[in-house]
């Protein structure tokens, strides 16, 4: 796989990820116009719980499925996929039963309100979402882009239609959100299940393979837990210190800022199989450095554009409705800070090749722990002092902690010749625009100058030649 192939894969599967994330942005106008700040805060807490729960349901098996789908063939591939799929089905049903039986005890802790019926909905969503993502992972590993994009697009269309039906027309409120999710995930699982059936053989289930897979997968469970702590605990901390209303405001801003996360994860979908195949080849580190320059340059530019124009974006009218309901407009301060945080997440992702190539994946949980602890500890200072915006400050510090800890670990044993100007330039730009810039001419000037300065003064001559070849 070449850099050109990486670009294609990142665009294809990144587009699929964008489609999945597009649901979030398309639903944002619907929710912010249909729900109060408190109600939207409750929805955000519910889906924060789903995020935590999916880590438990998958327990690293999604990563294992990607690895063994890429690195095995023939009967060995069938054996590994069979073991992973069957394990996921059995444990998924078990976890759902546990959540169902404990619904009366867990409802208030999870949702901030005593709604046991909502916990029933959430337990079903967890089971369906954990299972229907498996066919997508298989399609991604096998580079079957057309089917991957088709299912991603179907997810968007069905989810939007059902949300409009239950929330707007039937006026089912928050329960309508859950019903729409269950029906959408159920339909997607049903339509994609043939992908699983065609790739497994029940008789291929093997105890020794199961042990092998679990040894690889389980270390990713704590890493995933602490990742979710970073991604979702900020909402619970705001709920604890400020209240559900502020959760709603913060969540609206964070969802806009997740445009940055979409870019990072879209890139990572092509990046992971690329460095797994390319990593031990001669000259790989130089290639990784060039990719870092290109990716962070583009990431920085996109983050800057959204940060500069966020007020205009939120007030953009779609079918007579603004993108964000007026009651949520003061969440704009959160957006640029969250984008800065996800940029640092990108600097973390770009360093992962050394971890896999040196086979020290047991360190991944430590990197995530450093981020989670930083977020939690800093939140107790920033949230009381700066309100829900303070949680965004903590997110930035958390990702900085992650990128520094992985660098300190991997640089001595797998040194990559990074172009440090290409890393620090977008960081300085994103920090510099955290102040609320309102002048139109300043916004236009910055939007125009960034790519010119980046190409003329930041990118090295070798990188320019590679970029020209890539564009050709």
DSSP labels, 13-52: HHHHHHHHHHHHHHHHHHHHHHS-HHHHHHHHHHHHHHHH
Q: Give the tokens for residue 178.
A: 């859950």
Q: From 331, 357, 361, 453, select the one nearest 413 (Cα to Cα).
A: 357
| Residue 399 DSSP SS3 | helix
* Residue range 150-168: mean pLDDT, rounded: 88
What does the alpha-carbon distance between residue 327 and residue 315 come to, in Å, rounded to a whole number? 12
Residue 269 within any structural domain of the chain: yes
Quote the pLDDT of residue 370.
92
Alpha-helical (H) ranges within 323-387 are 332-349, 352-357, 364-386
Quote the pLDDT of residue 462.
81
CB 415 within 8 A of CB 395: no
* Residue range 290-298: mean pLDDT, rounded: 91
CB 270 within 8 A of CB 9: yes
Residue 248 within any structural domain of the chain: yes
CB 188 within 8 A of CB 132: yes
pLDDT digits (tens, 9 = 90+) for 365-400: 889 889 999 999 999 999 999 999 999 999 999 999
Q: Which of 135-144, 205-214, 273-282, 297-306 has the lowest mean pLDDT?
A: 273-282
| Percent of the chain residues past pLDDT 70, beyond the cut | 92
**Tally of structural domains, the chain:** 1
Name the more confident of 269 and 329: 329
CB 335 within 8 A of CB 389: no
Residue 8 within any structural domain of the chain: no
pLDDT digits (tens, 9 = 90+) for 317-367: 776 778 788 888 888 889 999 999 999 999 999 999 988 888 887 788 889
Residue 228 within any structural domain of the chain: no
pLDDT digits (tens, 9 = 90+) for 86-101: 999 999 999 999 888 8
What does the alpha-carbon distance between residue 86 and residue 92 come to, in Å, rounded to a whole number? 10
Quote the pLDDT of residue 392.
93
Quote the pLDDT of residue 12.
61
pLDDT digits (tens, 9 = 90+) for 183-232: 999 999 999 888 888 888 888 888 888 888 888 888 778 777 777 777 77
Q: From 307, 309, 311, 287, select the one nearest 299 (Cα to Cα).
A: 307
322 bridge partner residues: 317
Quote the pLDDT of residue 448.
94
Query: What is the b/e burial string over 159-176, where b = at least 16 CB atoms within 10 angstroms of the residue's CB?
Result: bbebbbebbeeeeeebeb
* Residue range 412-428: mean pLDDT, rounded: 92
Quote the pLDDT of residue 14.
59
Q: How confident is the model at residue 7 (pLDDT cuts 50, 70, 90)?
A: low
Residue 369 within any structural domain of the chain: yes
Quote the pLDDT of residue 472.
56
Residue 90 within any structural domain of the chain: no
Residue 30 within any structural domain of the chain: no
CB 45 within 8 A of CB 244: yes
Quote the pLDDT of residue 373.
92
Quote the pLDDT of residue 425.
95
Residue 69 has pLDDT above 90, yes or no: no
What does the alpha-carbon distance between residue 177 and residue 166 come to, in Å, rounded to a whole number? 7
CB 149 within 8 A of CB 132: no
Residue 6 within any structural domain of the chain: no
Residue 6 has pLDDT above 60, yes or no: no
Average pLDDT value for the chain: 85
Residue 11 has pLDDT above 70, yes or no: no
Quote the pLDDT of residue 380.
94
Name the more confident of 10 and 80: 80
Name the more confident of 161 and 52: 161
Name the more confident of 126 and 270: 126
| Residue 353 DSSP SS3 | helix
Residue 52 has pLDDT above 70, yes or no: yes
Domain assignment of residue 420, given as a range: 235-472
Residue 13 has pLDDT above 70, yes or no: no
Task: Give CA 6 to chain center in angstroms.
Answer: 19
The distance in angstroms from the start CA to the end CA of the chain is 17
Pairing, β 321-322 against β 317-318: antiparallel
Q: If DSSP states are collapsed to H, E and C, what string results for 151-178?
A: HHHHHHHHHHHHHHHHHHHCCCHHHHHH
């Amino acid at each position: 796989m070449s850099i050109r192939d990486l670009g294609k894969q990142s665009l294809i599967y990144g587009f699929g990820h964008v489609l999945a994330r597009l649901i979030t942005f398309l639903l944002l106008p619907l929710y912010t116009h249909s729900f109060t700040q408190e109600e939207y805060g409750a929805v955000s807490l519910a889906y924060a719980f789903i995020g935590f729960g999916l880590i438990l349901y998958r327990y690293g098996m999604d990563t294992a499925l990607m690895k063994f789908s890429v690195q095995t063939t023939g009967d060995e591939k069938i054996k590994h996929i069979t073991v992973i799929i069957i394990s996921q089905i059995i444990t998924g049903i078990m976890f759902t039963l546990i959540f169902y039986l404990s619904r009366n005890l867990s409802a208030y802790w999870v949702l901030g309100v005593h709604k046991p019926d909502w916990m029933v909905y959430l337990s079903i969503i967890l089971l369906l979402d954990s299972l229907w993502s498996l066919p997508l992972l298989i399609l991604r590993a096998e580079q079957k882009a057309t089917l991957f994009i088709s299912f991603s697009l179907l997810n968007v269309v069905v989810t939007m239609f059902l949300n409009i039906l239950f929330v707007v027309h039937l006026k089912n409120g928050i329960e309508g959100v859950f019903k729409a999710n269950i029906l959408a995930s159920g339909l997607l699982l049903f339509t994609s299940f043939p992908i699983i059936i065609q790739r497994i053989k029940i008789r291929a289930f093997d105890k020794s393979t199961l042990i092998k897979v679990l040894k690889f997968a389980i270390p990713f469970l704590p890493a995933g837990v602490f990742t979710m702590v970073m991604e979702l605990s900020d909402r619970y901390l705001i709920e604890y210190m400020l209240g559900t209303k502020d959760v709603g405001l913060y969540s609206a801003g964070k969802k806009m800022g997740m445009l940055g996360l979409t870019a990072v994860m879209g890139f990572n979908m092509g990046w992971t199989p690329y460095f797994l195949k390319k990593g031990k080849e001669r000259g790989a580190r130089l290639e990784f450095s060039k990719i870092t320059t290109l990716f962070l340059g583009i990431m920085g530019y996109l983050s800057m554009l959204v940060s500069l124009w966020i007020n205009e974006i939120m007030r953009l009218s779609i079918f007579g409705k603004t993108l964000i309901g007026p009651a949520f407009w003061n969440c704009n301060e959160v957006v640029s800070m969250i984008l800065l945080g996800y940029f640092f997440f990108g600097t973390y992702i770009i360093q992962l090749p050394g971890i896999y190539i040196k086979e020290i994946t047991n360190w991944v949980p430590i990197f995530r722990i450093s981020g989670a602890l930083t977020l939690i500890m800093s939140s107790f200072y920033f949230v009381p002092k700066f309100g829900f915006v303070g949680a965004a400050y903590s997110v930035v510090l958390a990702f900085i902690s992650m990128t520094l800890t992985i660098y300190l670990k991997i640089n001595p044993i797998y040194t990559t010749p990074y172009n440090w100007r290409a890393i620090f330039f977008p960081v300085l730009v994103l920090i510099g625009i955290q102040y609320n810039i309102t002048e139109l001419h300043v916004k236009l000037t910055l939007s125009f100058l960034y790519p010119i300065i980046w190409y003329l003064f930041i990118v090295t001559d070798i990188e320019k030649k590679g970029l020209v070849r890539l564009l050709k």
